[in-house]
Amino acid sequence: MLVKTRNAGRALLVFEVGLLLFISTLKVADRELLAPLYDSVSRDLGLNDLQFGTIRSAADVALVAGTLLFGLLADRWQRRRVVALGVLCWSAITWGTGQAQSFGQLLAARASMHFFLAAFTVAAYPMLGDMVPRRSRGTVMGLLGATFALGTVVALVIAALLGTDQWRQPFVYFGLPGLILGLLVLGFLREPQRGAGEEEVMQAGAYAGRFSWAALGRTLRIRTALLVYLLDACQGATWWAFSFWAPAYLLRYNIAPNADAAALALLPAILGFVAGTILGGRLIDLLRPRTPRSAIWVALVSMGGALAMSLVVFAARDLTTVLVAGFFLGAFGYLVMPCVNVMLFDVVPPETRSSAVAADAMILSAASALTSLAIGGVSYSVGLHQGLAEGNLRAGFQGAVTVLLAVALVAAVAILRFAPADMARLRQHVARRAVEAPEGLAEPRLALE
């Protein structure tokens, strides 16, 4: 009977993790759906590069506001309810985006959708961290990172299949599934104990740490966490820039023959993203028995390789070379995806992880907003100076990517220095607050092995 109970618990946990991964895929698809529709939306609504960049920047500013609200809420409320609220609201807004008739309406729709997108990240990531033990965290975070690439693929493929000229239809089709997923979260997703994935807590049975403003203040002063924020802001802004601006770049410089081909040309890079994030997660877990800094070493390889491959991508002038180089750019670049959360959870206490993830997402959103605005602004101003009505997208796009990846590499080197001391302090913190589960308390969640 005990074996059957444990198997049933493991099957339910696999379903719950799978549900969160599926929602994450839809979240990214909803966020990235506007990129492959750039050309037709611009023609229909009369948008230029600066307006398009402003839409993305406004959306990222809204994401910052949502992240602050939902991050604090998730550390003090049931995280599954935060996830459900976000999914239901952003899906309804996605459906409504297809009805936009002007620049202002499109900006308002995208901004409000991004506000509710924030709920998922700050609640789901710490939940997954509590569902699995520390030794397996890299693999699960790698799978979660793969949803960024898969979601982008879904957005690109659906847009291409429906035809990019019919830009309103994809928003309608993408909005409906989220309403069903939100109800599934409310009905089937359980709330894990905070800290349940830490080895010290698994041995003791419960965790006594609780959120407080003082604890949050201490978390926001952890040197490694601050450096992880910088690393994530740079690498994240880079890939959001690629997903948003690359189709327009390929089309404008005649690397891709038409808008549909420009959208589908991102597929090799996205396949590289999937391979990279899954490989990165496995490498973290395989190397962890040898060194607790495994995630940091993987991040160093990722940022160094991505910087080198980005130079190759921008130097290419034919589609075949871009496709091949794009795959390796994606593979190297996305090695870092699971590293970010593993490094963060290795130094941040369980009781403030949602707030810590929120701080990370806020900084990333701010960096993405500034990057999008800078790319659009530089493209517009340089193009105006050169007499190019459509702008000089190469100047803004390539310049931003090179600077961001270089700074990310420097941040990874600094993390390598400061992380060991912060990791040791976290283990001491958790060990002091790991307590025996009170009589009658439900058995801690079964961890994925």
pLDDT tens per residue, range 421-439: 999 998 888 888 877 555 4
- The answer to whether residues 157 and 270 touch, using CB atoms and an 8 Å cutoff, is no
Rounded to 10°, the helix 168-188/79-97 angle is: 160
Query: What percent of the chain lies above the pLDDT cut of 90?
Result: 18
Number of domains, the chain = 1
pLDDT at 443: 40
**Residue 434 forms beta bridges with which residues?**
207
Mean pLDDT of the chain: 81
- Measured CA to CA, the distance from residue 373 to residue 368 in angstroms comes to 8
- The answer to whether residues 371 and 241 touch, using CB atoms and an 8 Å cutoff, is yes
Mean pLDDT lowest for which of 94-98, 274-278, 353-357, 420-424? 94-98
pLDDT at 306: 93
Residues 6+ apart with CB under 8 A from 328: 272, 305, 309
- Statement: residue 259 has pLDDT above 60: yes
- The answer to whether residues 266 and 152 touch, using CB atoms and an 8 Å cutoff, is yes
Query: What percent of the chain lies above the pLDDT cut of 70?
Result: 88
Residue 104 lies in a domain: yes
Mean pLDDT lowest for which of 30-34, 46-50, 221-225, 397-401? 46-50
Residue 277 lies in a domain: yes
Strand residue runs (E) in 372-448: 434-436
**Residue 207 forms beta bridges with which residues?**
434
Residue 289 lies in a domain: yes
Residue (of 229, 399, 243) closest to 329 by Cα position: 243
Residue 294 lies in a domain: yes
Segment 193-247, tens digit of pLDDT:
777 667 776 666 677 778 889 888 999 899 999 999 999 999 989 987 887 788 7
Segment 315-350, tens digit of pLDDT:
888 888 888 888 999 899 989 989 998 999 899 998
pLDDT at 365: 74
**Ramachandran class of 150: left when φ > 0, alpha when ψ lies in -120 to 50, beta otherwise:** alpha
Residue 371 lies in a domain: yes
Residue 35 lies in a domain: yes
- Measured CA to CA, the distance from residue 49 to residue 68 in angstroms comes to 29
Residue 28 lies in a domain: yes
**pLDDT category of residue 4 using cuts at 50, 70 and 90:** very low
Amino acid at 111: A
Q: 173: helix, coil or strand?
A: helix
* Tokens standing for residue 269: 């890079």
For CA atoms 145, 9, 354, 420, the dihedral sign is negative
**pLDDT category of residue 164 using cuts at 50, 70 and 90:** low
Domain CATH for 299: 1.20.1250.20
Segment 54-85, tens digit of pLDDT:
777 788 788 888 888 888 888 888 888 899 98
Amino acid at 277: T
Domain of residue 333 covers 2-436
Q: Which residue would you say has higher pLDDT here, 313 or 230?
A: 230
End-to-end Cα, the chain, rounded Å: 20
pLDDT at 447: 42
pLDDT at 433: 81
pLDDT at 336: 92
Residue 444 lies in a domain: no
Most confident of 55-69, 203-217, 371-385, 394-408: 394-408
Residue 197 burial (10 A CB sphere; 0-12, 13-18, 19+)? buried
pLDDT at 178: 82
DSSP letters spanning 38-60: HHHHHHHHT--HHHHHHHHHHHH
Residue (of 168, 142, 224, 181) closest to 40 by Cα position: 168
- Statement: residue 408 has pLDDT above 90: yes
pLDDT at 438: 55
pLDDT at 5: 42
pLDDT at 347: 92
**pLDDT category of residue 30 using cuts at 50, 70 and 90:** confident
Phi, psi at 422, each rounded to 5°: -70, -35
